[in-house]
Structure 1
Amino acid sequence: MTRERLYLYDTTLRDGQQTQGVQFSTQDKQRIAKALDGLGIDYIEGGWPGANPTDSAFFEAAPETRAKMAAFGMTKRAGRSAENDEVLAAVMNAGTGTVCLVGKSHVYHVETALGITLAENTENIRASIAHLVAQGREALFDAEHFFDGYKANPEYALEAIRAAHEAGARWVVLCDTNGGTLPHEIARIVGEVIAAGIPGTHLGIHTHDDTGNAVANSLAAVDAGVRQIQGTLNGLGERCGNANLTSLIPTLLLKEPYASGFETGIAPERLQGMVKISRLLDEILNRVPMRQAPYVGASAFAHKAGLHASAILKDPGTYEHIDPAVVGNARIIPMSNQAGQSNLRQRLAEAGLEVERDDPRLSRILDRVKEREDQGYAYDSAQASFELLAREELGQLPNYFEVERYRVISERRRNAKGQVVVESEAVVTVQLQDGTKRTGYFKNEHPQDLHDDGPVNALWQALKTDLGPYQARIEDIRLTDFKVRITNGGTEAVTRVIIDFQDDQARRWSTVGVSPNIVDASFEALHDSIRWKLTRHGV
């Protein structure tokens, strides 16, 4: 059976940049574009040239890609020709072979937002697209507010997109700009558009996630006949975000009827890079990855209940819809006070620790987990700390070094310019296996810069400053998240700190510390991280 071609259009660098709190540098955009191209995306929308210096600089130095690079802009304004519209000219001057123009398709927006007649708007669309085509560019038309416009006035919505199609647009993209349309409406309206004479092979879909249906709406549009999908990595985008390509791509390649019915530019083996590219984006944005994200989240294949873990041991298909390795993810059997021996043996096996079913140490490990969780520890979220606990009970945890003492000081004061600054410094002394002592020291040299310069960071820098023979093994550890929770309120309050880490091999792990003192709890988690890293290096 011949499969139909489905085209994937990424707008992370343009629509994704409109996410609150997101601002890409030119270098960030280049890294993301390179990763998208390596994945096999068909189109990469680089931004809006002329709208800001970063986007203009990106197009000036855009990386060469197999994917088609697209510049984004808007249709010409009323009262001037396409040849003499400077905004349209800026998009053309980006030099991309593909250009996407956004225009109105909703009567309300034409008359209220633009303040022009419907005929003028239709002519703006027609003339702009015709100008692109005459210049040898591949033209796309993003029909803004199309679904809302169609529900309000189907005749004009169709007139607007028909003008773009007849002027030579390769793709007419139907946009659910406000994100309020539901899958059954998407399917019905797309079907009516195709019945009105615009073939699905020239239609795209652009959805937003304001009802949590962006992925479902995109799939509904494909079912109805569109053959281009627009979306963003990790669902970035204004308000609630755009259709999430890290969910859509695995679904299209792995789930029926899409896997057998459609061909994309992404080879099946490239799916193994999904987790990596998702985390690359989060790393660039300095954001914590969403643990529950479909396919790529750290918890996407986590099995906490003992019943689930027991079944997983017999057949992973009992509680997993795909093999996690297909998308570059991994199965996790968390440990908690709800765990049974099935969870425990599976988790130990994943750490390379084979223990017989009737080994009495299994019960001792479970007892320790339950005892320590009563004290405030949480091992379902801190797998590395659990592994250290288990290795200790099994007699398989080397004593790399002992922490003899640490001290951390924070001072809030005004500097010579009268600015309030907070300065932190820390000292950590350890004793190595051979009896030698090492002392690490760190002081915040720029206390006016409060980013990452608190007492915990000072302790972390001091701890990993001088560990002798272990130093080279820990240089690439980076803190990625820091979470604090107070348990047992009142005067007997206990602080639980969970810290997430990552290294240059894209390994991620979490450790936990508990103490009445938040700094001490943090130090315990930091200490565990280094010990786990060394054990995984086989030191």
Structure 2
Amino acid sequence: MTPDTSNQIWIYDTTLRDGAQREGLSLSLEDKLRIAHQLDQLGIPFIEGGWPGANPKDVQFFWKLKEQPLQQAEVVAFCSTRRPGTTAAQDSMLQAILAAGTRWVTIFGKSWDLHVTESLKASLEENLAMIGDTIEYLRSQGRRVIYDAEHWFDGYKHNPEYALQTLKSAIAAGAEWIVLCDTNGGTLPHEISQIVRDVVKAIAPEESSPSKIQNPKSKIQLGVHTHNDSDTAVANAIAAVMEGVRMVQGTMNGYGERCGNANLCSLIPNLQLKLGYSCIKDEQLKQLTQASRFISEIANLAPDEHAPFVGLSAFAHKGGIHVSAVERNPLTYEHLEPETVGNRRRIVVSDQSGLSNVLAKARSFGIDLDKQNPACRHILQRLKELENEGYQFEAAEGSFDLLMREALGQREKFFELKGFRLHCDIAPCDGESNCLPYALATIKVSVNGKDILEAAEGNGPVAALDAALRKALVNFYPIIGQFYLTDYKVRILNSNTGTSAKTRVLVESSNGHQRWTTVGVSTNILEASYQAVVEGLEYGLLLHSSAKVALANS
């Protein structure tokens, strides 16, 4: 019995090519390989690897994948149609595409007559020939072709008859997928719906199925590629799917040029959980949050904490009434179960918190408190006092966990600070290349009653303090060697007091598997930084100690 696949959506990821065009994002060859394997594990069926021949890195990427093959995804090479005034067989650009050795190739061509005459400086007839000749040549070389109709929606609005001719040229030449691109990102959902309906009537594609995606002789199928310049990329892609499109192109975390591309981290759960389409397996969908954060880490971009579905705050509850309701029934303030996308519910604590927040937050840390426990009121009071001083525990859950354990008399003392001293030397630059600031930190700590005095250098006082502290502790706690800082934020709380202003420092740390944030506040930025760094190390040791206990009891 053939399974019903009428609801199958083929996800096409272009993070490695279109996403990498984001300003400030640069991926090494190793970065691209790691992201490709992560996407493969997530169950993405098509992964666009880049434009072979455009740069040496993309050439190497396709060859490296032969040594480290993907398990299930089709890796796709990307290229434009041949150049004007030549043939596809003579175009060296297409030879590089063939040399990449991929089974699938995505070719983009011009749909908008303005681009043909102004950008290509070619005739409208020549553009149609370029599309057909390129696809026919690639098919003759055994490649299967996805055709990206660049600037499709703008082109259709300005000259619908010619725009449709470009699609028909691609279809006649043997393209299996026709992808309608909103390249400028200026089209709105209602326009997407109407234009896709027009295309369906004009070329009458059939819906996709596994047999067709494996059969080169299958009839044409439609895809969509949307950009986010009007902040409607996800909505536009969904509108297209509702009209019969069966391939959706996008990027992880919405990375892309200008305002980005359609965000697959929103599209996949919306399509699968809200609309009943099948994109990836349910167990793979539970990896979505982890994949999003992994890719942001590789891209060296801070994760969007407020991103739908996968953001740290996507299922965070702060208001006391909200927390009480969610504790009784999560449906009251959550549109789906966070676990379905690999996220988790978070109870945020702040000066707006009530006892319900404190109790719920304690439970999330494995601490079961009762309302009658005097420690609850003490924690709540202490929380509000500290936040009044400038502390922020919403984003510093590590520090709040330590605060709770302190109130309960359960805070383990891994070490005790005895004092530290800093020396900074910022010499004027004399034109030589080596004129960086220099700092020396001397620190004294006590571990198990033993005093340790250590010194370390750094390119700044915080770096020197961190290095000296780690140097003093690593012999007692070797696991510290696996801890590293992933983010450091400074906020001036009362700027009207000038250089005497109170400073809040947030430090995010990681052990490679978990991330935690700690906070420090002081009128001395070094003191605030030291508080946050010390608690970051302390909390990392606490997590490691708890993990060892859990393992021993399992």
Same fold (TM over 0.5): yes
Q: 2 CA distance for matches of 1:156 and 1:140?
A: 20
Q: Secondary structure at the match of 1:465?
A: helix
Amino acid at match of 2:81: T
Partner residue of 2:288?
274
Matched, 1:240 2:255: no
Q: CA deviation at 1:267?
A: 1.1
Q: What amino acid does structure 2 have at the position aligned with 1:263?
A: S
Aligned to 2:420: 406
- Residue equivalent to 1:420: 435
Aligned equivalent of 1:450: none
Percent of aligned pairs sharing the same letter: 46
Aligned-partner Cα distance in 2 for 1:174–1:391 = 56
The CA RMSD measured in Å over matched residues stands at 1.6
2:216 maps to which residue?
Answer: none
Match of 2:47 among 44, 47, 51: 44
Which residue is 1:74 aligned to?
Answer: 80
Letter in 2 for 1:39: L
Equivalent of residue 164 in structure 1, options 161, 165, 170? 170
Tell me, yes or no, if structure 1 residue 213 matches structure 2 residue 216: no
Tell me the secondary structure at the aligned position of residue 143 of structure 1.
strand
Q: Give the counterpart letter for 1:280 in structure 2.
A: F
- Which residue of structure 2 aligns with residue 254 of structure 1? 273
Shift of 1:18: 0.7
2:242 corresponds to which letter in structure 1? Answer: D
Going from structure 1 to structure 2, the CA distance change for 1:138 and 1:408 (only over 3 Å counts) comes to: farther
Give the direction of change, closer, same or farther, for the CA distance of 1:419–1:464 in structure 2 (3 Å limit): closer
1:144 Cα shift?
Answer: 0.7
| Residue 520 (structure 1) aligns with | 527
**1:80 counterpart letter in structure 2:** T
CA contact (8 A) 1:200 1:226 kept: no
- Alignment-derived partner of residue 2 in structure 1: 4
Per-residue deviation, 1:471: 1.9
Letter of the structure 1 residue corresponding to residue 524 of structure 2: N
2 CA distance for matches of 1:129 and 1:85? 13
Judge conservation of contact 2:474–2:481 (CA < 8 Å) in 1.
no
**CA deviations over 1:9-33 (Å, ceiling 9, x no partner):** 1111111111111121111111011
Contact kept? 1:162, 1:198, Cα under 8 Å? no
Q: Is 1:124 aligned to 2:130, yes or no?
A: yes
Report SS of the residue matched to 1:377. Answer: coil
Report the CA distance between 1:316 and its aligned residue.
Answer: 1.3
Aligned counterparts of 1:390 and 1:309: Cα–Cα separation in 2: 18
Is contact 1:165–1:198 with CA below 8 Å preserved after alignment?
no
Query: In 1, Cα distance between the equivalents of 2:198 and 2:142?
Result: 31
Find out whether 1:295 has 2:321 as its counterpart.
no
Residue aligning to 2:248? 229
Distance 1:401 1:534 in 2: 10
1:415 deviates by: 7.2
Per-residue CA deviations over 1:223-262 (Å, capped at 9, x if unaligned) read 0111000011111110011111111112222112xx2xx3
Q: How much does 1:2 deviate?
A: 2.9
Note the 1:361-400 alignment, pairs <5 A: 361-400=375-414
Deviation of the 1:438 alpha carbon: 2.2
Report SS of the residue matched to 2:286: helix
Per-residue CA deviation, residues 195-220 of structure 1 (Å, 9 max, x unaligned), is: 00241541110000111111111111
**Secondary structure, counterpart of 1:24 in structure 2:** coil
Q: Which runs of 5+ in 1 are unaligned?
A: 445-452
With over 3 angstroms needed to count, the CA separation of the structure-2 counterparts of 1:160 and 1:520, relative to structure 1, is same
Q: Residue 505 of structure 2 aligns with which residue? A: 497
> 2:337 is matched with which residue: 300, 309, 323?
323
- Partner secondary structure for residue 353 of structure 1: coil
Distance 1:254 1:436 in 2: 57
Does the CA-based 8 Å contact 1:479-1:502 persist in structure 2?
yes
Q: CA deviation at 1:478?
A: 2.1
8 Å Cα contact 2:474/2:480 also seen in 1: no
Instruction: Name the aligned partner's letter for residue 509 of structure 1.
Output: W
TM-score (ref. length: structure 2) = 0.92
Measured in 2, the distance between the counterparts of 1:17 and 1:282 equals: 12
Q: 1:426: Cα distance to partner?
A: 2.2
> Runs ≥4 in structure 1, deviation > 6 angstroms?
none
Q: Distance between the aligned counterparts of 2:442 and 2:248, measured in 1?
A: 54
Note if contact 1:391-1:397 (Cα within 8 Å) is conserved in structure 2. Answer: yes
Pairwise CA distance, 1:416: 8.9
| Pairwise CA distance, 1:392 | 0.5
Structure 1 counterpart of 2:550 = none
Is contact 1:440–1:464 with CA below 8 Å preserved after alignment? Answer: no
Task: Give the TM-score, by structure 1 length.
Answer: 0.94
Deviation at 1:330, TM superposition (A): 1.5
Q: Distance in 1 between matches of 2:4 and 2:83?
A: 43
Alpha-carbon deviation of 1:193?
0.2
